[in-house]
């Protein structure tokens, strides 16, 4: 599920034309900076509208990528960045499959959105990810239940580069106020928990880059 050649850099995110909306987002960015946990405002295609320093710090160790940086589009980062598993623990089951489920729902609601269609084409370029999306995802949702797909309240593992956190869990909390919701934005905060276990001893280089087609949770259908 690593980045496939031929992907396009996401288009620049539109800025609200309404001056009041612009001012609101500026003040909201100030509010986010006061939050000690990673917090981010996303639009319907997971483009990052506003993110705080704690969010940037969580992903500070990832390498540069032409289309899938976490500060640009979080969905692309989860699905396509080869370093995603170095930060997002249990990457396939806890992050990839839930995000694919959210993406499928977004495609149903915004089927003609060019940004979502671009992501859909990249998914189709990876046979394993395509199999997970088309055949495996419905079975996975039935197995785990609809509640496991929703981000609000989900507890997911992370591998924080700051050794004070290390290998820990975060609870994802949806904190979207009415004004952001009217802009079709969502605010999510990753409430980090105190680490309950020491990080595993390193075995070789810290960053293990993944090859394309790395999904193994959902097997590829037999020919």
Question: Is 220 part of any domain?
Answer: no
Question: Is 120 part of any domain?
Answer: yes
Question: Is 71 part of any domain?
Answer: yes
* Residue 40, pLDDT above cutoff 90: yes
* Residue 9, pLDDT above cutoff 70: no
* Residue 208, pLDDT above cutoff 50: no
Mean pLDDT throughout 5-11? 41
Strand partners, 170: 156, 192
Is the whole-model pTM more than 0.95?
no
Mean pLDDT throughout 69-80? 96
Question: Is 150 part of any domain?
Answer: yes
DSSP three-state, residue 28 = helix
User: What percent of the chain lies above the pLDDT cut of 90?
Assistant: 62
Question: Is 140 part of any domain?
Answer: yes
DSSP three-state, residue 84 = helix
Mean pLDDT throughout 144-152? 79
- C-alpha 205: how far from its chain's center? 24
Question: Is 47 part of any domain?
Answer: no
- The answer to whether residues 151 and 95 touch, using CB atoms and an 8 Å cutoff, is no
Q: How many domains does the chain have?
A: 1
Quote the pLDDT of residue 142.
86
pLDDT by residue (tens digit) across 17-34? Answer: 788 889 999 999 999 999
Question: Is 78 part of any domain?
Answer: yes
Quote the pLDDT of residue 110.
84
Q: Which domain holds residue 121?
A: 66-164
pLDDT band for position 105 (50/70/90)? confident
Question: Is 118 part of any domain?
Answer: yes
């Amino acid at each position: 599920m690593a980045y496939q050649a031929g992907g396009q850099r996401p288009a620049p995110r539109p800025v609200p034309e309404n001056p009041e909306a612009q001012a609101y987002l500026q003040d909201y960015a100030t509010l986010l900076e006061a939050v000690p946990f990673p917090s981010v405002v996303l639009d319907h295609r997971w483009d990052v509208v506003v993110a705080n320093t704690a969010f940037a710090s969580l992903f500070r160790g990832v390498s540069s990528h032409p289309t899938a940086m976490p500060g640009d589009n979080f969905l692309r980062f989860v699905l396509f960045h080869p370093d995603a598993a170095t930060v997002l623990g249990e990457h396939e089951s806890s992050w990839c499959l839930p995000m694919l489920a959210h993406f499928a729902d977004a495609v149903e609601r915004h089927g003609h959105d060019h940004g979502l269609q671009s992501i859909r084409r990249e998914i189709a370029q990876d046979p394993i990810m395509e199999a997970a999306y088309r055949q495996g995802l419905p079975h996975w949702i039935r197995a785990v239940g609809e509640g496991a797909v929703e981000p609000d309240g989900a507890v997911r593992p992370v591998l924080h580069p700051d050794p004070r956190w290390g290998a820990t869990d975060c609870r994802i909390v949806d904190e979207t106020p009415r004004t952001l919701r009217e802009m079709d934005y969502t605010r999510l905060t990753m409430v980090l928990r105190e680490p309950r276990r020491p990080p595993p001893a390193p075995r070789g280089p810290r960053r293990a880059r993944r090859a394309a087609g790395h999904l193994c949770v959902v097997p590829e259908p037999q020919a």
